[in-house]
Chains A and B, each alone.
Chain A
């Protein structure tokens, strides 16, 4: 299983043609205490760059974009009741949604862990 990153601070783990998407530790730290998560509807088809989810802290609201083309197969409902999980385990159990990919070639445009670390260090 490989993990990819975007410069919108999302991580993507790919297993077969299913991608699990969340926000990075860096992103949760920037947001502060997360108080609300809105998930996409299952079955919705998204193009890369579309708004997929919303994550809010007390003072900020951010969109989570679809990092790749695909169809939403599952949202992480746990986050709706326990948004704090995004702060506690951003790159673990606090994934946002799972996407069934229909263009895996798009993965080539994403960063790997080392690239992403370099990217964050440059900010």
Chain B
């Protein structure tokens, strides 16, 4: 038999390690470099086919633009390639586990994307006649109803554009309620473990922030709250508390704390960033909260889009309901009415003003309602249970190797480790996180909350399968063992395999370069 030995070999030749050669382009196969659009684009074309405007006499009253708009363009295939190449330098929930604590990076169903793009929602103007948008008001009202039912509250302000904006809305409603009582209080209590947005929001609307220390077990001590209330008697407007808190724990004495706050004539603002842990398990309204924003883009799965858009409706207790901002939808016996200015107010309605132009993040509302309807009351509860189960599964898988700052007890939907286990290894939380990148994971939230040294906050969400969690736990165990055994080379200077190595943030901050500028006039093509 004659053998044909020509042609393409189908197996690698030998097992010799070959060092990777440098490439001419700097690309590494699918891993491609991409210049800035200003370096690639054309200065004298337009990538959209537009009709040539006819000649006409402008009516701009002498306001014609004299300066050039020095922006280059791409044709469509060039634009496609530029942005597809850029996209491939991003990590994404669709590509892998994204355990950023407090961020709830869960699966984003594409049904929601599809429905949000229906012309009846996407191609709808916020100020077209109300009679031509009844379906939109119906959708907002239905979503409001779901939010009130899930939280056990009696009103919801839909217009805030994101979580921090929702906080601002809730706190402004509180300020208005105090004003209606003829009171002016100047202090807001904020636990040390709070998200940075809490004190920032309180300060933004003119409150002085007083910190409440955390207890050794990571929760808030009602006695500490009582002490602060006494110290600032009659001056405290509100307490801002995240529950479940940023240590991944449910505040067991939340009802006592709520009672203390109410007895002092103050209001209880709850940061709802971690609502994903308790949907269908407890209703914040039953716990005594007066206002809570809901990060639709966390708990109800609208995509984060590389940093927004979000949506932050605020549910309100009966006490705060009259102070919800414009616009809102009023239910009458047979209809829904849009209330968008002061002349339409009924008796008792005392809105503090307006958070934004128009009605809020409609595109996010459609997605969130689709998500809720898909899950149903039963599925939402199951999702929360799975989120908490997954976090505890990770906790138990790692607790013998990594250090839990508050002991081996159950957590909510996220598990918090500190860096005690890295002591004397020479590896920091940052190094550990960067080494995770080489293993194909987005790092967890690091160095937050501030009350724990070298914090690592892991939130897997309900979207992860058991196999995915098992691999994640095994990977982290392997990393910990390396660190403990002194095999620190995979940490120092990591990541090694990402599109970029560690970036010089100091240089970026010392001499900020925030836009592209032409190298010199002669190097740019004539326009």
Residues of A within 8 A of B (CB): 33, 35-36, 56-58, 83-84
Contacts and interface: CB of A to CB of B under 8 A. Distances in A.
Per CB-CB distance, the 6 closest pairs between chain A and chain B, nearest first, are A35-B509, A33-B506, A58-B505, A35-B510, A58-B509, A58-B506
Nearest to B505: A58
Interface string B502-527: 00011001100000000000000000
A43 B510 CA distance: 27
Contacts of B509: 35-36, 56, 58
A57 B510 CA distance: 9
A84 B507 CA distance: 10
10 contacts: A33-B506, A33-B510, A35-B506, A35-B509, A35-B510, A36-B509, A56-B509, A57-B506, A83-B510, A84-B510
A33 B506 CA distance: 6
A122 B62 CA distance: 70
A57 B509 CA distance: 8
B19 to A, nearest CB: 34
A20 B144 CA distance: 60
Contacts of B510: 33, 35-36, 83-84
Interface in B127-157: none
Contacts of A58: 505-506, 509
Contacts of A84: 510
B221 to A, nearest CB: 25
Interface residues of B, number: 4
Q: Which of A35, A36, A57, A84 has the most CB of B within 10 A?
A: A35
Contacts of A57: 506
Nearest to A84: B510
Given A36-B510, A83-B510, 5 more contacts: A33-B510, A35-B506, A36-B509, A58-B506, A58-B509
B73 to A, nearest CB: 36
Contacts, number: 14
Interface string B475-509: 00000000000000000000000000000011001
Nearest to B510: A35
Contacts of A36: 509-510
Interface in B309-357: none
A83 B506 CA distance: 11
Nearest to A58: B505
Nearest to A56: B509
A33 B505 CA distance: 10
Q: Which of A36, A57, A58, A83 has the most CB of B within 10 A?
A: A58
A83 B505 CA distance: 14
B171 to A, nearest CB: 23
Contacts of B506: 33, 35, 57-58
Contacts of A83: 510
A123 B345 CA distance: 59
A1 B506 CA distance: 35
Contacts of A56: 509
Contacts of B505: 58
A36 B505 CA distance: 13
A33 B510 CA distance: 9
A35 B512 CA distance: 10
Nearest to A35: B509
B308 to A, nearest CB: 22
B458 to A, nearest CB: 21
A35 B505 CA distance: 10
A33 B509 CA distance: 10
Contacts of A35: 506, 509-510
A83 B507 CA distance: 11
Interface in B74-106: none
A35 B511 CA distance: 8
Nearest to A36: B509
A57 B506 CA distance: 8
A9 B10 CA distance: 67
A41 B199 CA distance: 28
A84 B510 CA distance: 8
B196 to A, nearest CB: 12
A35 B510 CA distance: 5
Nearest to A83: B510
B114 to A, nearest CB: 41
Nearest to A32: B506
Contacts of A33: 506, 510
Nearest to A87: B506
A59 to B, nearest CB: 8
A62 B505 CA distance: 18
A36 B510 CA distance: 7
B379 to A, nearest CB: 40
A25 to B, nearest CB: 18
A15 to B, nearest CB: 31
B507 to A, nearest CB: 9
A56 B508 CA distance: 13
A58 B510 CA distance: 9
A56 B505 CA distance: 13
A5 B505 CA distance: 31
Nearest to B447: A59
